[in-house]
Amino acid sequence: MTKPLTLFEKVWNAHVVAQEPEQPAILYVDLHLLHEVTSPQAFSGLRARNLKVRRRENSFATIDHSIPTTSPNITGGDQLAARQMEQLENNCRDFGIRLYGVNSPQRGIVHVIGPELGLTQPGMTIVCGDSHTSTHGAFGALAFGIGTSEVEHVLATQCLLQRKPKTFQVRVEGTLKTGVTAKDIILALLSRIGIGGGTGHVFEYTGSTIRALSMEERMTICNMSIEGGARAGMIAPDETTFQYIAGKEFAPKGASWLVHLNRWRSLPTDAGAVYDSSVTIDANALTPMITYGTNPGMGISVTEPVPDPAHVVDSLDRSALEKSLRYMALKPGEKLIGKRIDVVFIGSCTNSRISDLRLAASVINGRKVAPNVRALVVPGSQAVKRQAEAEGLDRIFKQAGAEWRESGCSMCIAMNGDQLEPGQYAVSTSNRNFEGRQGKGGRTFLASPLTAAAAAVTGTITDVRTLLND
């Protein structure tokens, strides 16, 4: 009898090219995604060693991090950003890599367009010089972020040296209540295990709640696996996955589709397979979540008070909490509900897909953005933008007084001019609330698109359920 294997182990085993005793495995990479910020030095390295790209058809590039969202061709005089974008164009031309560039209708945030184009498929190994590559794990791929040196390794050899990580089952059971979304599941997990809780592991999300989620919701969850320290998060492919992929530009077609489907059906974790760790989350008990601190593990239910450092025993943990509250200018025990905010950002590779925009629009429709709030809606890709406009979502946002933008990373990372001013509070659907992440001195509350939209129309942190019951 063969040993029962997890989804992760099956994908891993199928990609080990070679492994010498005691040494890391040589792992084959099926799909390599590139963007302008983490690739220039990798291409310079190739040039310095006089190396070519080994398998050009496995690499795809886009421009997302520093691209302006007002109009893609106006860099606002940012010469550095312009040079970086131009360099990616030159590198892709010189090395023969397909680029979805500034004027491409298929351009968008790298983790939004991969799935959208059908590039992301079950059982693949996928890497990108970007930690949120974990997003693609929603399809049952092993997808993880790498550094720039490793980008160079993949370009040159289509392989990476990797130690095998451990497995960590995150089982989510039950039914989500109204107003509670995939984002709340992942924020709840992070608040439970902390931002280092998954270090050295690959998450596999299992359970009835996960099975009931759409692909876009699954992507939201896998996206933030890295926020728990896990480089990758995976979900076994099922009919929902196959339906999503079918017919996409790069999806297998005809007879090849059936061959792939057969293989994909063999990927889910075998009965009796063992994980190194596991945790269970009761979806029935979840409420809308929000972060109060300066890392994504500092989350609470939106109705709960901010924790009090006085109750923290470990001195380093206590000073971390104190430091966070000082940065956020929050008092221990303070309630967040009713707190005035300045900016709402709906976007990023976590929550900028069409279903996210629909959720936000459902709250904003017929209401106005509060006068004290600047609301920015940034679709994840040009395709999402077109779809939203076809559905009239852009009009809902614009009529309410929100800004409707071109696609890009935008205020998630504040490299393109979209940023918070020092001291401003934002409710953001992105994934990181680190100090200064959305602009120097800016303060971020992470939440779902529903909670962000609720904050936009009330001007304060709000329990979105009170608006949904209207």
Partner 1 sequence: MNHFPEFASRIAPLLVNDIDTDQIIPARFLKVTDKAGLGASLFADWRFQPDGSPKAEFVLNQPQHRGAGILLAGNNFGCGSSREHAPWALVGYGFRAVISTSFADIFKNNALKNALLPITVDTSVHRKLSELVLNEPSVELSVDLESQTFRMPDGGTVRFPIDGFAKSCLLNGTDDLGYLLRFEKQIEEYETMRFGSGV
Q: What share of the chain is helix, strand, coil (3-state, %, to 5)?
A: 40, 20, 45
Interface pattern 42-71 for ligand SF4 (x via CB under 6 A) = ----------------------xx------
For the chain, state the CA radius of gyration: 22
Minimum Å gap between C-beta 454 and partner 1 is: 27
User: Which of residues 413 and 452 has its CB atom nearest to ligand SF4 in the complex?
Assistant: 413
Of 135, 206, 295, 381, which lies in the binding site for partner 1, with binding defined by CB under 8 A? 295
Q: Which does 258 bind (CB under 5 to 8 A by kind): partner 1, ligand SF4, none?
A: none
Q: What is the C-alpha separation between 467 and 179, in angstroms, rounded? A: 9
Verify binding: residue 132, ligand SF4, rule CB under 6 A.
yes
Task: Residue 306: count other Cβ atoms within 10 Å of its Cβ.
Answer: 21
Can residue 289 be called a binding residue for partner 1 (CB under 8 A)?
no
Structure tokens belonging to residue 119: 């590039």
Tokens describing residue 69: 């969202």
Q: Which of 38, 209, 431, 460 binds ligand SF4 (CB under 6 A)?
A: 431
Written as one letter, the residue type at 215 is: M
240, amino acid identity: T
Stretch of 314-322, 329-337, 406-414, 458-466 lying at the interface with ligand SF4 (CB under 6 A): 406-414
Q: Which does 349 bind (CB under 5 to 8 A by kind): partner 1, ligand SF4, none?
A: ligand SF4
159 near partner 1 (CB under 8 A): yes
The H or E element that residue 456 is part of is: helix 449-458
Q: 134 with 222: CB under 8 angstroms?
A: yes
Say how far apart CA 182 and CA 192 lie, in whole Å: 16
**Residue 80 engages partner 1 in binding (rule: CB under 8 A):** yes
User: What does the alpha-carbon distance between residue 305 and residue 337 come to, in Å, rounded to a whole number?
Assistant: 9
* Contact between residue 173 and residue 285 where contact means Cβ atoms under 8 Å apart: no
Residue 5 interacts with which of ligand SF4, partner 1, none, CB < 5 to 8 Å by class: none
Q: Among residues 170, 341, 414, 447, which is the contact residue for partner 1, using CB under 8 A?
A: 414
Residue 408 neighbours by CB under 8 Å, 6+ apart:
64, 65, 67, 68, 69, 72, 108, 109, 378, 416
Crossing angle of helices 393-400 and 354-364, in 10° steps, is 40
Cβ 266 to ligand SF4 shortest distance, Å: 31
x/- track of binding to partner 1 for residues 88-127 (CB under 8 A): ----------------------------------------
Q: Which segment (263-271, 272-280, 405-413, 449-457) binds ligand SF4 by CB under 6 A? A: 405-413
- Distance of alpha carbon 310 from alpha carbon 318, whole angstroms: 7
Binding status of residue 446 toward ligand SF4 by CB under 6 A:
no
The answer to whether residues 352 and 109 touch, using CB atoms and an 8 Å cutoff, is: yes
What track of x and - describes contact with ligand SF4 for positions 409 through 428 (by CB under 6 A)?
A: x--xx---------------
Out of 67, 202, 281, 349, point to the residue binding ligand SF4 (CB under 6 A): 349
Q: Does 37 participate in binding partner 1 (rule CB under 8 A)?
A: yes
Cα dihedral 259, 264, 265, 267 sign: positive
3 state SS for 261-290 = HHHHHCCCCCCCCCCCEEEEEEHHHCCCEE
Q: Rounded to an integer, what is the distance from CA 77 to the centroid of its chain?
A: 29
CB 296 within 8 A of CB 432: yes
The verdict on 49 binding partner 1 (CB under 8 A) reads: yes
Closer CB to ligand SF4, 401 or 436, in the complex: 436
The helix (H) or strand (E) run that includes residue 6 is: none
465 binds, options ligand SF4, partner 1, none, Cβ within 5 to 8 A by partner type: none
Q: Which of 148, 362, 365, 424 binds partner 1 (CB under 8 A)?
A: 148
* Residue ranges binding ligand SF4 (CB under 6 A): 64-65, 109, 111, 130, 132, 348-349, 409, 412-413, 430-431
* Residue ranges binding partner 1 (CB under 8 A): 17-18, 22-24, 26, 28, 37-38, 40-41, 44-45, 49, 54-55, 65-66, 78, 80-81, 83-84, 87, 129-131, 145-150, 152-153, 156-159, 161, 163, 165, 195-196, 199-200, 226, 229, 231, 295, 316-317, 319-320, 323, 413-415, 422, 432, 434-437, 440-441
